[in-house]
Amino acid sequence: MKRLSAAAVPPARVYFTGGVSALLIGWRESTIDIDIKLVPEHDALFRALPELKEQLEMNIELASPDQFIPAIEGWEERSPLIGGNGRLSFHHYDFYSQALAKIERGHARDIDDVSAMIELGLVDPQRAVDYFREIEPRLFRYPAIDPASFRRAVESVLNTQ
């Protein structure tokens, strides 16, 4: 976070998602990459990423739930602040968005992450179902998603918690 902040010219927010959130909160001990979303996007930050990847010997990807499922209204307000450094503030991307994107992807580790988010009180299963219902009418914009399969997965994962 310090190294990325050094490259920031205008203020921006960095949203961590996936393994970084899991690592920082403590339900996992490691991650294989760093998934981030930059708001707003600035060239200076993009230019800093290749060197940062090299220094950290880790893959850094521009990836967030809203690239895979429709954005949930209010996600920014529900994205907890981790801290600030210089001109950047660092946040966990909304856990409801993360959970639904992980359910849609459906890998075993993703489902374990959703279970951890629920156990830690970061996600309420019923509220997550409500958010799914909110985005369901917009799933047509994501042709890789089969809405019926996604709905079944959401109901299965969140109703068994």
* Pure H helices in the chain: 2-7, 19-25, 43-56, 95-105, 108-119, 125-135, 147-159
pTM score: 0.93
* Packed helices 147-159 and 108-119: angle between N→C axes, nearest 10 degrees: 50
pLDDT in tens, 141-161: 999 999 999 999 999 999 854
* Packed helices 95-105 and 125-135: angle between N→C axes, nearest 10 degrees: 70
Specify the higher pLDDT residue, 31 or 119.
119
Cα–Cα distances (Å) from 55 to 17, 34, 42, 49, in that order, read 21, 13, 21, 10
Specify the higher pLDDT residue, 112 or 8.
112
Give me the pLDDT at residue 56, please. 86
Q: Note the Cα 41 to chain centre separation in Å.
A: 16
Give me the pLDDT at residue 160, please. 57
CB-CB neighbours of 156 under 10 Å: 11
Q: Does the pLDDT value for residue 139 go beyond 70?
A: yes
Specify the higher pLDDT residue, 3 or 140.
140
pLDDT in tens, 88-104: 999 999 999 999 999 99
Question: Among 65, 74, 70, 68, which residue's Cα sits nearest to residue 98?
Answer: 65
Q: Does the pLDDT value for residue 106 go beyond 80?
A: yes
pLDDT in tens, 18-55: 999 999 999 999 888 999 999 999 898 999 999 999 99
